[in-house]
Amino acid sequence: MSKVIGIDLGTTNSCVAVMDGGKPKVVENSEGARTTPSIVAFTKDNERLIGQPAKRQAVTNPDNTLFAIKRLIGRRFDDPLTKKDMELVPYDIVKGKNGDAWVEAGGEDYSPSQVSAFILQKMKETAESYLGETVTQAVITVPAYFNDAQRQATKDAGQIAGLEVLRIINEPTAAALAYGMDKEDGKTIAVYDLGGGTFDVSVLEIGDGVFEVKSTNGDTFLGGEDFDSAIVEYLADEFKKKENMDLRTDKLALQRLKEAAEKAKIELSSSASTEVNLPFITARMEGGSSTPLHLVETISRSKLEQLVGDLIKRTLEPCKKALADAGVSKNEIDEVILVGGMTRMPKVREVVEEFFGSKPHTGVNPDEVVAMGAAIQAGVLQGDVKDVLLLDVTPLSLGIETLGGIMTKMIDRNTTIPTKKTQTYSTAEDNQNAVTIRVFQGEREMAQDNKMLGQFDLVGIPAAPRGVPQIEVTFDIDANGIVNVSAKDKGTGKEQQIRIQASGGLSDDDIEKMVQDAEKFADEDKKRREGAEARNQADSLVHATEKQLEEHGDKIDASLKSEVEEKVAALKTALEGDDPTDINAKAEDLSQSAMKMGQSIYEQEQANAASAAPEGEAASDGGAEEEVVDAEFSEVDEDAKN
């Protein structure tokens, strides 16, 4: 049975872990790093880059470099937060045919699930390289505050990547699993998770292997990306004051600013100040010539804290709500666990300590703990980890629209999942043979202010006066936090399972096509890798053969030398093309001839040595040779004595 892996699919970075010897182990990627940038890029020759290679070329290829895609997953194009994101990223966000937000790169439109699938494929390959076997199943983490559409879209991403997603698990819950796996005493903990794009806070009770989430809250559009944007805005404003030019209108300059902002933010976690130095950031045209302009700006830690103070404050309201929903006070929290790269910022730690009244626990790696928790949950599902019971909650209330557009809640937020609730409905008119039920998720009083998950029609209701038919509708939320609905006509006993067809989302056909596209990309990537390997080996062979010809060409037969030179030339010609099959064939031909040349050189050397042997023997004949032999034996005897 193949291993189930745990994947933290992050906004900024992703991480994969597996259970190894009863402990979760983070797996290093092909670049030797324990986390992989959640970035996908398409080059001008349509090569797909993922992770660090994509990040390295972002400055020169901003239009086709997709990052922070998690912020768009499961979102509608007309969502106000999508509009906000459009102002922050250099690539184009477009309207998908289903009304969802999609992205455009390399002349193609991609759904956020598809781009996320490319990243998941990279994590899958990373795990497979370490395990030495094919991986087909995974546990994937999502922010606790993700709604149904976002969870479904994440599950779709897994499917497109060729993974059966056994469980979608909330990030703070995963972190708590990794933190509390070996702890037996009962504790109430709060997980404060400030990542690259989202913020979550969860309150849990843990002890004796039981992890019970009491409440969760958060903001799916608050994270390190917003901190970077605040620095970018400051740098752009300062440059505009000095040079009267707005760098925000130049995509290349904006990408350089973003890269510098992230670097400065990280440096200021350990330094009091840092200098942002971007030479040749832009140029001013004057009198037909251009004058290069440079950006040099010093940012102090206190300046950064001033710039992002409001963002840090925004995390406190969800903390208050989570405590209130859990029915616990701040002083009843035994430990606060920090998760996410942004919790390395001293000001964030200071604010958390001030709010909860105790120093937060910093004994876990904030970048890796979520993936480790996902691996533990994978171990639980696989049966490798025993005596662990995870009781999670739904982050948002689930309900339907009733008369007057009111949101009637059926399952309240922070209800332990899986859960099920049944409600009986009837008709509003005489002889009505169908009713439409609109399902919403959220906390607002009016249905239209919440997220509509979808709607469905119950048809085939027997003709009867209004209020007579009894239609029993059952809502249930599974362990992934995904909503399912079934309906039963009590009069006829007729029952039907209804899959909510979200107003957006991907259809089965869409997913199937994307699976095929992902496989095609994987095949292309494999061919490119094989081509690069073939080219490298061929280059080395040409170099080694030419060196051998240069050093020993005079010792081989002229016809063999000519044959080798011809095959070197043929391989060089093949290397000018990009057909790995041709390169490999020509390399094999050259390899055979080079082997014959090596054998010929070796035989020639032996013949030369044999013809020179009588002279050598005569020169060394007599007592001198005997003395050398005697001395050698004498030395061995001495060693033996010792």
DSSP character at residue 462: P
Q: Identify each DSSP E strand in 426-542 by its residue range.
A: 434-441, 451-459, 471-477, 483-489, 495-498
Q: Which of 3, 55, 70, 258 is catalytic?
A: 70
Phi, psi of 567 (to 5 degrees): -75, -30
Q: Which of 100, 125, 156, 193 is catalytic?
A: 193
How many Å apart are CA 170 and CA 214, to the nearest integer? 13
Q: Is 298 helix (H, G, I), strand (E, B) or coil?
A: strand
> Which two tokens mark 109?
């439109």
How many Å apart are CA 487 and CA 126, to the nearest integer? 43
Q: Which of 8, 125, 212, 335 is catalytic?
A: 8
Q: Is 280 helix (H, G, I), strand (E, B) or coil?
A: strand
193 in active site: yes
How many Å apart are CA 467 and CA 465, to the nearest integer? 6
How many Å apart are CA 320 and CA 576, to the nearest integer? 65
For residue 57, the Cα-to-chain-centroid distance in whole angstroms is 18
468 Rama sector, left if φ>0, alpha if ψ -120 to 50, beta otherwise: alpha
353 in active site: no
Q: Are 258 and 233 in contact (CB under 8 A)?
A: no
How many Å apart are CA 641 and CA 192, to the nearest integer? 72
Other Cβ atoms within 10 Å of 240 Cβ, number: 13
Spell 14-48 as b/e; 16+ CB within 10 A means b. Answer: bbbbbbeeeebbbbebeeeebbbbbbbbbeeeeeb
Q: Which residues contact 458 (CB under 8 A, 6 or more apart)?
A: 434, 435, 437, 471, 473, 487, 489, 496, 498
Q: Which of 125, 171, 225, 510 is catalytic?
A: 171
Task: State which amino acid sits at residue 635.
Answer: E
State the pairing for strand pair 137-142/4-8.
parallel
332 in active site: no
How many Å apart are CA 212 and CA 205, to the nearest integer? 5
How many Å apart are CA 639 and CA 629, to the nearest integer? 16
- Continuous segment of H or E residues that includes residue 118: helix 112-131
Q: Is 215 helix (H, G, I), strand (E, B) or coil?
A: strand
171 in active site: yes
Nearest to 341 by CA among 34, 22, 1: 34
SS3 content of the chain, % helix, strand, coil (to 5): 45, 25, 30
Q: Is 32 helix (H, G, I), strand (E, B) or coil?
A: coil
Catalytic residues: 8, 70, 171, 193
